[in-house]
Structures are given as C-alpha cells and as structure tokens.
Amino acid sequence: MTPLSALLVREIRVATRIGGGALIGVLFFLTVVTLIPFAIGPDLTLLKRVGPAILWLGALLASLLTLDRLISADQEDGSLDLILMTDTPLAVTLAVKAFAHWLTTGLPLVIAAPILSLLLNLDLAAAMAVTLTLLAGTPGLTFTGLIGAALTLSLRRGGLLMSVLVLPLTIPTLIFGVASASAAIGGTPLGPPFAILCALTLIGAVIGPFAASWALRHGQE
C-alpha cells in the first residue's frame, strides 16, 4: 500500500471501530434537527420555509464539533511525532486525514439529509437540492475546521475554542449553501450561488491543509 492509502484505511478503521467517532456526528445532526421544531413549533409551512437553513446549521455544527479529536488523538499517542518525521508533505497527510474524517462523518450527514428533509416537510426536489448543496459544501467545512483543530492542538478543552475560532470562517459556506438550496427550491437553476459554494470548498481544500500544517509546525515546542 502507498503511504497515503495506508493512512486513509487506518483513519477509517479507527473511526469506525469501538471508541471511534463515526456516526456520532450524524446522531448529533438528527438530534439538533429534531429539537428545532420543539422550539419554533410544528407548523409545517414554517418548517418548510426554514428547513434548508435548519439542515445546513445542523450539518455545519455536526461537521465541526466532531473535528476536535482529529489531530489531538494522534498527538496524545505519539503518532504525530512519527507523522512529522516522514517525507510525505504534512499538508498532504492532513488533507488525507480530513478526507477520511469527511468520509466517516460528513458523508453520513449528506446521506441522512434526505430523510431529515421529510421531518421538515421538504418535498423531493427541495430535499435533493439541500442534499446536493451539503455534498458540495461539507468537505469545505471539514477542511476549514482542520485549521482550528491544528491551532488549538496544545490547549486543554480546545474543542470549544476551536468552534469559536472556526465558526466565523464557515459563514461564506453557510451563506452560499443555504442560498443555492433556496434557489433550487424556488425553481431557479442552481446557478451562481452553487458555483461559489463549490469554489469555497475547493479553496478550503487548498488553504485548510496548508494553514493547518503551518500551525502544527510552528506550534511545536
């Protein structure tokens, strides 16, 4: 196996075995989406209107809150030292780790989105639109969150601080994600907001791993 495929397999195994974090994100997503109607009421027309926003907020929180262990687990058991001592560029390693995290946490969110759309009274077209925008947007969230995970690595209780640091960075993705979903629901083609959403994800995939690798290299002590 090449170094990177070995890393991908290892990350997926660790996430899906006992004690791993896969599927906890999707459970969080389900819970948040279920809670919101209790707060704003079961009015189906209202839920239909705010449904895409609820799904996007839930997916955003679920993507980011599960990220805090992504690098710190490797630091605690000493794996990070060895990872730093290889000729595989650190940014590439981090990108693979983030991708594995998206496969085990982000992709389940995308798959769950159509089912949760039913709860929010979205019709099929709207559910598909939200799912498509989540598919395009959640990898960007993970790559952006990676920066926070690297920055807060040496802190205790870094998880909460990480969210505070990263959530503002995810605002563009949220804006264009919800906007493109709403555009699709309104009957207009996905168009420019969706293109911008895809662009944001691609930018995140480039900037995230590099920024995170700089944060790790400079945070060493």
Partner 1 sequence: MMLSGKGLACQRGGRMVFSGLDFSLRAGQALPLTGPNGAGKSSLLRLLAGLLPAAAGRIDFKGGSPERSLGEQAHYLGHQDALKTQLTVLENISFWASYMRGTLAGDDALTAVGLCELANVPAAYLSAGQRRRLSLARLVAIQRPVWLLDEPNASLDDSAQKILSAMMRDHLKRGGLIIAATHAPLGIKSARELRLGRAR
Partner 2 sequence: MAIINFANPARFLTFADRVLPWVAGAAVLVLAYGLYLVVGAPGDYQQGDTAKIMFIHVPSAWLAMMAWGVMSMAALGTLVWRHPLADVTAKAAVPIGAAFTLICLVTGSLWGRPMWGTYWVWDARLTSVLVLFLMYLGLAALWRAIEDPSRAARAAAILTLVGAVNLPIIKFSVEWWNTLHQPASVLRLGGSTIHPALLTPLLVMAAGFLLLFTTLLLAAMRNEIFRRRIRTLQMMKALGARG
> If DSSP codes are grouped into helix, strand and coil, which group holds residue 23?
coil
From CA 183, how far away is CA 190, in angstroms rounded?
6
Stretch that binds partner 2, among 21-29, 66-74, 171-179, 194-202 (CB under 8 A): 21-29
Does residue 43 bind partner 2 (CB under 8 A)? yes
Show the site string, 3-22: x = touches partner 1 by CB under 8 A, - = not: x-xxx-xx--xx--xxxx--
By CB under 8 A, tell whether 8 contacts partner 2: no
DSSP state of 41: -
Residues near partner 2 (CB under 8 A), total? 17
- Determine which residue in the list 4, 8, 14, 23 makes contact with partner 2, applying CB under 8 A: 23
Q: Please count the residues of this chain forming the interface with partner 1, following the rule CB under 8 A.
A: 28
**206: enclosing H helix or E strand:** helix 191-219
CA R_g for the chain: 18
219 with 74: CB under 8 angstroms? no
Round to the nearest angstrom and report the end-to-end CA distance of the chain: 32
Give the one residue of 14, 53, 65, 119 binding partner 2; rule: CB under 8 A: 119
Among the listed residues 1, 2, 38, 187, the single contact to partner 2 using CB under 8 A: 38
Residue closest to 102 by CA, chosen among 25, 6, 209, 14: 25
Length of the chain: 221
Which residues make up the interface to partner 1 (CB under 8 A)?
1-3, 5-7, 9-10, 13-14, 17-20, 76-79, 81-88, 220-221
Which residues make up the interface to partner 2 (CB under 8 A)?
18-19, 23-24, 27, 30-31, 34, 37-38, 41-44, 118-119, 121
